[in-house]
Structures are given as structure tokens and as C-alpha cells.
Chains A and B, each alone.
Chain A
Amino acid sequence: MKKAIVFAKRNFIEMSRDTLSYIFCVAFPIVMLVIMTLVNESIPAEAEMTIFRIDNLAGGVVIFGQTFVMLFTALNVSKDRTGSFLIRMFASPMKPNDFTAGYILPMLAVALIQALCIFAAAFIISLITGFTINPLAILLLIPAMLPSALLFAALGFLFGALFSEKAAPGLCSIIISLGSFVGGIWFDAEATGGILLKICKCLPFIYCTKSVRAAITLDLSFDSFILPEIIVIACTVVLLFLSSFAFRKRMKADLA
């Protein structure tokens, strides 16, 4: 585990020195939070549309931010695969699990920092707009967002392992758009019904949004929080195994 932590530290430092990671992982989600709050202010009360109200919006934006965590995980892994850096690492005493942990752990730290920044921004907006967010919700948000953060980091790890430095970001962009759409971040997916709702429910993104939203509104009911969280954890476990397996297979193929 010590080697995994050393490797994770390297990955965190590399990412922290990339200005783009601050723009995409922190600044952009907060800008979206502000823009969508302004949109919400423009919607007449009679429309009874609460999706962009800050207590609902904050949870969606936390998940939106995590899609960029996926993008940067994919970039880190695919970039390392392109050069000789990973060859050196593979000739070192590191074990396969050290690589998985080393790539994913720093992204959890990034997701945590990101969630704290978004929550702080959302709390300030709530004071301005008058829709209250309980500051204690942060205590629930932290454990609630970790499974979805892990899910997106594992997805990024999978794309980084399977695709090149050029292809991986492109594919991640598709997931960012798809995840935002079918994850119910920018609209109330559950109010739609039909084939669209069925598609949304077949993918893990809507459960990520639902559980984090519930954590921020302190709604701990089975349907709103516990069940979505269980589904996210189950999908995360599957994706972690899948991405770790794909990474090992791909590296063996790259080195052969």
C-alpha cells in the first residue's frame, strides 16, 4: 500500500500543476451553478420547476463536476501509457493493485475538494436567494459523494487503459454529455417517463445525482438516498474490477 500512496502522491502533484484541472474541475462547475441559479431566477414561480433551485442544483453540479474527474483520470492514464514512464513503473516492485489505487486515490481527493468548493458556493448562493441549505448537510455529502466519485474515477481509469491519449478525452466528452443528460442533472428525468426514463434507469448516472441531491437536502429515505446509493456502490465495484482488469490486460499487450 505504501507504494500505491507514493504513486498516488505523484499523480496528485502532476494534476495539481495543470491549470486546466482547476478550470474544469472547480471553476467550470461553479460557473454552471451561478448560471443555472440565474436561469432559475428567470423561471416564473407558477411553473413549479424546482430542478434549478439551489438545494436541488448543488447535488447535480457535484455530479457534473465528477464527470471531469473522469476526464482527468483518463488523461493521466493514457498519457502515462503513451510514454516510457509506465515501462519504468512496470519494471519496479509495484504490484498491479498499486497502479489501480495510485491512479484512483488522488482523484477521490480531487472530487472531495471539488465537492467542498461547490457546496461552499451553493451555501453562499442559498443565503443570497433565500432557499436554505443546511450547512450540516456537508457532513452527509462527503460520504454520499465518495461512491459516485469512485465510479467516475474508475470509468476514467477504464477509458485511459483502453484508449489512446487522443481518443480517451473524446470518449469522455461523450460520457460527460450523456451523463449530464441521462443523469438528470439539468432536467427532472423522473418527471419524463417512457423510453427516456427507462434508459436513465438502466445507467448509473441518475442514481449518482439522486443520492447526492438527497444528501444535500438531508432526505435519508430509502427511495431517495439508500437505494440509489446501493446501486451506485454496486456499479462502482463492478467498474473497479473491470477497469483494473482492462489496465493489466492492456499493459501486457502494450509491452508484449
Chain B
Amino acid sequence: MKAISTVNLTKEYKKLTAVDSLNLEIEEGELFALLGVNGAGKTTSIRMLSCLSSPTRGTALVDGKDVQTDSSSVKSVIGISTQDTAVAANLTVEENLRFMAGITAPSTVAKSEINDRAEKMISLFNMEEVRNKKAKTLSGGWQRKLSIAMALIGDPKILYLDEPTLGLDVLARRELWKLINNLKGRITIVLTTHYMEEAEALADRIGIMIKGRLEAIGTVSELEEMTGKKGLEEVFVSIAEK
């Protein structure tokens, strides 16, 4: 079974087609990057795949479940880290993690299990030194790490990372890349980005979105072969200028 599969997935607003007939198949355990400039339709695609926004047309199956007719089941297998760090500002790192574990865990899960999940995330993301700090006092990098940890705490099968390193300095970005790389193969990750080097460094396959359409899809070498260009930036420019 594919982790994600979409057929002609479309989102239209009054005068704008944000996503136009998206046909996509993502394998389980794959790290797939949606690459595109601002307004290309990446975030809208993620929103439709996470049941936040209803498609105008087409279908999308996430872990075999329809995003429109079985949204509860879809929501139980996904985790999302949005562009802005969606954390509870006045809660500490540990409280944020426990809170999110409580929200995502089934009602049968015991409190000790919730605490264990929070501890596991603190250890996985090396957050021991900030565990008792309020989220609003953390640097951008730490907030982003916390946001991803919160998305992961429900043990999702599919993780959406919407522009995970947007606005971060180079060191914080590299540290996040390391963390995302460590997750590779363990769960399916869909990452949106407009940084070429990020897609190149992290993704198994890359989908290039231009003005709402998925114009090309493949590994970096497949895309290079397709366009006859060297390097992802050249590939991207040649596809965008077509």
C-alpha cells in the first residue's frame, strides 16, 4: 500500500487554482520533498492531505484512508509541523510535549505512557537543557525542534513538515537536517521547501511544483537526466522557465 496517493487533487479559490490536478504516489518510509517558490501550492497540498482543507476535486488517500470521507482515521496516522511554530507559548517544553501526547494518544493510553513519550522526544531531540523553559523564551531553532517533536509524539505513520527550516540560521538548519535525516526510513515524511539544497540534502524523491501544478517528479539524478541540466537549482530554473 502507498503511504499517500492522490488523483487529480485540485483546490480552487474564486479566481485562483492553488493546486491543479495533483497526481502523486509516495511510498511508505520515503522522504518526499515538494519543492517550489512561494505560492506554488505546496502548503495547500499539505493542508488537503492533512484534512485541514477540502479539495475542490479529486481524491487523496493517506495510509489507504480517504481524506474527505474518513478524516478521523487520517488524523490518527499523521503528524504536522506547520510553517510557523505551532506551540503553546506559556507552556514549558516538557508540558508542550505532554500536552500533545495527551491529545494524540488514544483514550486507553495510561498517564505513565504519556510521560514516557515526552521523555523519549526530549532525549531524541536533545532538549534536556530546555525542558523546563517556556516555549516563548526559546530561540527559533529550538522552537522548530519542539514543533517537530510535537508532531512526532503521537507516533504518526506520516509526518508533514511544512517549510521546517524557514527563517533559521545556517547552524540551526543543519541541526534540523540531521534530525530529519535520522527519521528517514522510519516513517514517511512529506517536506515542503523552497530551499534547493534542503531538498537535495534530505529527499529521496523531489516533486517540483510551479503555479499549482506538479511539473516534474523524481530523484535528483532522474530530474537532471530529464532536463539535461546539472544541479537541482539549474533543473528547477529550467522547469520553471518552460
Q: Could you tell me which A residues sit within 8 Å of B by CB distance?
A: 2-3, 6-7, 9-10, 13-14, 17-18, 83-94, 255-256
Partner of B103, one of A14, A17, A83, A92: A92
Let me know if B103 and A87 touch, CB within 8 A.
Answer: no
How many A-B residue pairs lie within 8 Å, measured between CB atoms?
A: 70
Q: Could you tell me which B residues sit within 8 Å of A by CB distance?
A: 13, 47, 50-54, 72, 75-76, 78, 80-91, 95, 99-100, 102-104, 107, 134, 150-151, 154
Let me know if B87 and A10 touch, CB within 8 A.
Answer: no
* Chain A residues positioned under 8 Å from B81 (CB to CB): 88
Q: Distance (Å) between the CB of B175 and the closest chain A CB?
A: 21
- List 24 A-B pairs, Cβ < 8 Å: A2-B102, A3-B102, A6-B103, A9-B99, A14-B90, A17-B90, A83-B84, A83-B86, A84-B82, A84-B83, A84-B84, A85-B86, A87-B82, A88-B86, A89-B103, A91-B51, A91-B80, A92-B100, A92-B103, A93-B76, A93-B103, A255-B52, A255-B53, A256-B13
Partner of B85, one of A7, A14, A84: A84
Give the interface SS of chain A, mostly helix, strand, loop or mixed: helix
* Chain B residues positioned under 8 Å from A92 (CB to CB): 75, 100, 103-104, 154
Partner of B75, one of A2, A14, A17, A91: A91
Partner of B88, one of A2, A14, A91, A255: A14
Name the CB-closest residue of A to B108. A2
Let me know if B52 and A93 touch, CB within 8 A.
Answer: no
Extra contacts besides A10-B88, A13-B91, A14-B89 (9): CB < 8 Å:
A17-B134, A83-B84, A84-B85, A90-B52, A91-B52, A91-B75, A91-B78, A91-B80, A92-B103
Name the CB-closest residue of A to B47. A255
Name the CB-closest residue of B to A83. B84
Let me know if B86 and A87 touch, CB within 8 A.
Answer: yes
* Chain A residues positioned under 8 Å from B95 (CB to CB): 10, 13
Contact A91 to B103, CB < 8 A, known contacts A17-B90, A84-B82, A85-B86: no
CA distance A13 to B53 in the complex (A): 30
Name the CB-closest residue of B to A80. B88
Let me know if B91 and A14 touch, CB within 8 A.
Answer: yes
Name the CB-closest residue of A to B98. A6
CA distance A94 to B150 in the complex (A): 15
* Chain B residues positioned under 8 Å from A94 (CB to CB): 103
* Chain A residues positioned under 8 Å from B86 (CB to CB): 83-88
* Chain B residues positioned under 8 Å from A10 (CB to CB): 88, 91, 95, 99
Q: Distance (Å) between the CB of B102 and the closest chain A CB?
A: 4
Interface-centre pick from A9, A10, A89, A94 (highest chain B CB count, 10 A): A10
Q: Distance (Å) between the CB of A200 and the closest chain B CB?
A: 38
Name the CB-closest residue of A to B104. A92
* Chain B residues positioned under 8 Å from A14 (CB to CB): 88-91
CA distance A36 to B95 in the complex (A): 42
CA distance A2 to B75 in the complex (A): 17
CA distance A6 to B91 in the complex (A): 13
* Chain A residues positioned under 8 Å from B13 (CB to CB): 256
* Chain A residues positioned under 8 Å from B104 (CB to CB): 92-93
Partner of B82, one of A3, A88, A93: A88
3 tightest Cβ-Cβ pairs between the two chains A and B: A6-B102, A84-B86, A88-B86
CA distance A41 to B88 in the complex (A): 47
* Chain B residues positioned under 8 Å from A255 (CB to CB): 47, 52-53
CA distance A84 to B166 in the complex (A): 14
Q: Distance (Å) between the CB of B152 and the closest chain A CB?
A: 12
Q: Distance (Å) between the CB of A97 and the closest chain B CB?
A: 13
Name the CB-closest residue of A to B114. A6
Q: Distance (Å) between the CB of B103 and the closest chain A CB?
A: 5
* Chain B residues positioned under 8 Å from A6 (CB to CB): 99, 102-103
CA distance A49 to B75 in the complex (A): 61
